[in-house]
Structure 1
Amino acid sequence: MTKEDFQKLWTLNYPDTVPISYLFKHDYTDRWFRIHSLPESKRYPEDENEWQVLLSRQNEIITDLFGLEPPILIVTGEYNWGDDRQIHITDEEEIFKQFSFVRLDNIELHKIDAEQYDEPDIYRPAFAQTIWKPNYHDKLLREIANDNTRVFFISFDKKVIVAPYDGGVDFVLKDSLTKENFKNKYRQWLSEREDGY
């Protein structure tokens, strides 16, 4: 898949946002929901038993959404705060060495949130092709759960975004009915907060 292919599919499927995962819950509230990775909304695992609970939950629901061994994309990137640093997270982090990333156009962050970002601040997204299968990405899921990196998975074919973070997983599904069906199926893993966070 080329950069142009990705951009075309992104604009077609997600015209109201950019490929930065923390924005999804604001830009697609009708199709978004979240599960927590550990009982009682505990944020970080403290032992191997809790890691197994986290990985079991995440693998179960992600496999339920994607299916077995479909082609998917992983999307990540790095922030640049206006200086001349040339940081390339996809080249420098060991966890990403197995993937072949394609860089996307820089995102000018001040155009998204002028209060939070200055004019030179940019985000450099990149994507790579892979597959989803249970436990295949456990090492990456552990890094995300430890807040060492940020990645989301996407299937344009299934219209599913899966965005793990340190504490749980955000999902954007194809429509609100599908979202409600999955929310109900995994209701024991939902946040108890009114806003679903």
Structure 2
Amino acid sequence: MTKEGFQKLWTLNYPDTVPISYLFKHDYSERWFRIHSLPNSKRYAEDESEWQILLSRQNEIITDFFGLETPFLIVAEEYNWGDNRQIHITDEEDIFKPFSFVRLDNIELNKIDSEEYNEPDIYRPAFALTIWKPKYHDNLLREIANDNIRAYFISFDKNVIVAPYDGGVDFILKDITTKENYKNKYRQWLSEREDGL
């Protein structure tokens, strides 16, 4: 897929937001829900048994959405604050080296939120095509869960965004009915908070 192909599909499917994962739950709140990766909403795994719970939950629900051997896109999220602070640089992260990334246009974060970001702050998304297989992406899920990298998954064919983070996974589904069905199915993994966070 080319950069232009991605941008066309993004505009067609998600016209009310830009490809930055923390915005999804606000811009598509009616289609959003979140699961927590560990019991009692624990944020980080501390031993291998907790890692097994986290990875088991994430693999189960992502497989439910994507299916087996399904093509999907990884969108790596790079943030560059000013001239001297950078995190999650795709070219420098070993976890990203097996994938062939296509860079999207830089986004000036100050234009998204002028109160939160300064003028030099830049967000640089890049995407790569891969296949979903249970357990195949566990190392990537671990890195995201430890907040070492930031990335999310998208299937335009299935109209779903899967955005793991350090604590759980956010989902943007095709409509409210689909969201409510999955929320009910995975209700034991939901937050107890009223706002779903």
TM range (shorter): over 0.9
Quote the residue 2:115 is aligned against. 115
**Cα distance in 2 between the residues matched to 1:169 and 1:79:** 20
Cα deviation, residue 87, structure 1: 7.5
Unaligned residue ranges in structure 2 (runs of 5+): none
Is 1:59 the counterpart of 2:75 in the alignment? no
Cα deviation, residue 77, structure 1: 2.5
Quote the residue 2:181 is aligned against. 181
Task: Give the SS at the match of 2:30.
Answer: coil
Quote the residue 1:153 is aligned against. 153
**Cα distance in 2 between the residues matched to 1:86 and 1:147:** 14
Cα deviation, residue 110, structure 1: 1.1
| Preserved CA contact (<8 Å) 2:79 2:88 | no
Report the TM-score when normalising by structure 2. Answer: 0.97
**Cα distance in 1 between the residues matched to 2:84 and 2:42:** 38
Task: Give the SS at the match of 1:30.
Answer: helix
Is 1:49 the counterpart of 2:49 in the alignment? yes
Runs of 4+ deviating beyond 6 Å: 84-88
One-letter code aligned to 2:145: A
Q: How big is each residue's C-alpha offset from its partner over 1:66-125, in whole Å with a ceiling of 9 and x where there is no partner?
A: 111110000012112232778871110000000000000001111110111122211111
Report the TM-score when normalising by structure 1. Answer: 0.97
**Cα distance in 2 between the residues matched to 1:50 and 1:86:** 30
| Preserved CA contact (<8 Å) 2:79 2:86 | no
**Cα distance in 2 between the residues matched to 1:38 and 1:70:** 26
**Cα distance in 2 between the residues matched to 1:151 and 1:37:** 16
Unaligned residue ranges in structure 1 (runs of 5+): none
CA RMSD of superposed structures (Å): 1.4
Quote the residue 1:83 is aligned against. 83
Quick one: structure 1 residues 21 and 86, their matched pair in 2 at CA, closer, same or farther if it must change by over 3 Å? closer
**Cα distance in 2 between the residues matched to 1:47 and 1:87:** 26
**Cα distance in 2 between the residues matched to 1:141 and 1:148:** 10
Cα deviation, residue 55, structure 1: 0.5
| Preserved CA contact (<8 Å) 2:88 2:149 | no
- Overall identity of the aligned pairs, in %: 84
Task: Give the SS at the match of 1:181.
Answer: helix
